[in-house]
Amino acid sequence: MKYNRKPGTENSGNHWHTIVYLFLLSLSFYCQPAQASDNRVIVLTSYAEEVSTRFQAAFERAYPGKRVEILWRHGEDAYYHLMQTGGKGIDVYWSPAPGNFAMLRRDNRLARLSLDRKALPGDLGGVEISDPAGYYAAFELAGYGIAYNARAVKALGLPPPKEWSDLAAIPYAGKVQMPIPGSVGFASVLYEAILQGYGWEKGWALLSEIAGNVTFNRAAFPDEKDAVATGEMAARMTMDFFISIATGTDGSNKISFSYPSRTVYNPAHIAIFAQAPHPETAREFVDFALSTEGQKLLLHPDIHRLPVRPALYQEISGIAVNPFQQQSFGYNASFGRERHGLMVAIFDIMLVRFHDRQVTLWKTLHAAESAGLSARPEVQRARQLLTTPLVSDAEQKDAALRRTFAFTEKAEKSSSPQRTKIENQWINALKQRMDEASQLLAPHQRAVQP
């Protein structure tokens, strides 16, 4: 079914035929029984087909005579569309796009849900995953962590990676994939988990050192063979459900996944529009998606998501992790959204733009430290130059700075003379740091020469 289809132009010869046809069509619609008009539900989602069609089929089996119509829009595209239309003509919004739900709630576009909070907790370790007032509910959880090839990791002489910091180990050089947040949508939350879990200064220091070991990827999942599955790469920073996407690719059964202690379980949500044209079926669909039967569908190998019903983790053995039993470090999703554009900009300049040169500097620094020279002033200074963020913790809290780098309503990178000026200042400061680090490490450069 096409959504927002624009009508084609009619030639004058068919003008009256068109009017008559539309009149008869509208008459047939209004002459239908009232009950029949509510036998369908129109669902807007960004879920892939393997998720949406399974729930569609299961709901239609559970509710004979009911029909689900799926409309697909990517999260960013949906945001702009919903800003314009408010969801007119749609019954249910169902997507892993927390910011979109927050916007709809703010604009009073959603209907209140009837939720059993004992069976469906509204928080995870004190961190809200559903709207406290009940206007949208968590539907599933996706965890951020490390996908790795156990055989490839073992070949490097390392144990399986359990924490983000493990990826900074010297043997991982050139063997880790790291997503760029400006290109890969989920990556921003992944890095916010590190920045909030370790703190701004220590978080950037860790990301900087990990970046010295990585190749960057600009897609959530490789178009061809998965380099981690084949063993070409040892590990990748990613989300757990991408493991299911790898199923069936060459060597995909070799991929394992670990959840670091300082990670985030990001909720996807479901909600009903306040002006839903089919409210009864809409509520039935939402109730089904959150029911025990619906939540069990999340465990299918082709879906591989974590349920939001804690009882299922007790009922079903073999689920990789129970998020409701993990210790929370107090992740704040709203805080991350507020500085999203700023974080993406810092990442791009600090870690991506001069990556090749920084890889060389990290190799030289690691060689000096491995030689027992960590206490040398020039080695300590070089590490400081490579790990200090371009923006301090105090500076990043400035509201005006965050606004300068905020994304537009179309989810595009902002552009202004002030932004360009600040970015040029960052670039110049980073070049000066790299020049100084290079001079300090020059006596140790021979250790990394091929």
Counting Cα atoms < 13 Å in the Cβ hemisphere of 345 gives: 27
CA angle, 24 as apex, 18 and 28 as ends, to 5°? Answer: 145
Q: Residue 180: is its pLDDT beyond 80?
A: yes
Residues 373, 77: Cα–Cα separation, whole Å: 52
pLDDT, tens digit (0-9, with 9 covering 90-100), for 76-134: 789 888 988 999 999 999 999 888 999 999 999 999 999 999 999 999 988 899 999 99
Cβ 204 vs Cβ 240: under 8 Å: no
Q: What is the pLDDT of residue 74?
A: 86
Would the pLDDT of 17 be above 60? no
Assign 245 a pLDDT band (cuts: 50, 70, 90). Answer: very low
Q: Concatenate the DSSP letters of all residues of 274-320 into one string.
A: TT-SSHHHHHHHHHHHHSHHHHHGGGSTTT--EES-HHHHHHSTT-S
Sign of CA dihedral 137, 142, 143, 145: negative
The region, left, alpha or beta by phi > 0 then psi within -120 to 50, assigned to residue 65 is left
Q: Given this model, what pLDDT does residue 415 score?
A: 86
Mean pLDDT of 167-180: 97
Name the CATH code of domain 142-258 (choices 3.40.1190.20, 3.90.950.20, 3.40.190.10, 3.40.630.40): 3.40.190.10
The number of beta carbons lying within 10 Å of the beta carbon of residue 94 is: 25
pLDDT of 21: 32
Q: pTM of the entire structure? A: 0.82
C-alpha gyration radius of the chain:
25
pLDDT in tens, 187-237: 999 999 999 999 999 999 999 999 999 999 987 766 668 899 999 999 999
Q: Exposure string (b/e) for 391-415, b if CB count within 10 Å is 16 or more?
A: beeeebeeeebbebbbbeeeeeeee
**Residue in this structure with the two tokens 């552009």, named with its chain if needed:** 415
Tens digit of pLDDT for each residue in 314-350? 999 888 899 999 887 888 888 898 999 999 999 999 9
CA atoms within 13 A on the CB side of 315: 10
Q: Is the pLDDT of residue 247 over 80?
A: no
Extended beta strands in 319-381, E state? none
Q: Is the pLDDT of residue 3 over 70?
A: no
CATH 3.40.190.10 residue spans of the chain: 40-140+266-325, 142-258
Fold (topology level) of 40-140+266-325: D-Maltodextrin-Binding Protein; domain 2 (3.40.190)
